[in-house]
Amino acid sequence: SSETKEHFACKYDRYGDSYTADTDMAQLKGLFSRMSNLR
């Protein structure tokens, strides 16, 4: 729903990385691997 979208948009950037929660190696690797090949 738009509320949910709104909610997540506040907490996560468009790539799914949290604005506030610290990241670690595994999370960042997962994030990067989900970002499609940027070429």
Partner 1 sequence: MEKKVSRICPVSDPSTTYFLQITWEKDLGVGFDVILTDGQLAWAGRVTEDEISKEAADMEMEREKYIEELQKVLLFRGQTDKYNFDISKGEASGECLNFSYEKNLKDVSFRLGSMDLQAVSSPAETIREMISYCLHSIMGLQTKNEDLRKENERLLSDVDDLQGQLLKCVEAKEELETELYKRFILVLNEKKAKIRSLQQCLKEAKEATEGPTLKRD
Chain contacts with partner 1 (rule: CB under 8 A): 13-15, 17-25, 28-29, 31-32, 35, 37-38
DSSP one-letter code for 12: B
C-alpha span between 36 and 3 (Å, rounded): 27
C-alpha span between 9 and 31 (Å, rounded): 16
Q: How far is the CB of 23 from partner 1 (least distance, A)?
A: 6
Q: How far is the CB of 3 from partner 1 (least distance, A)?
A: 19
Q: How far is the CB of 8 from partner 1 (least distance, A)?
A: 13
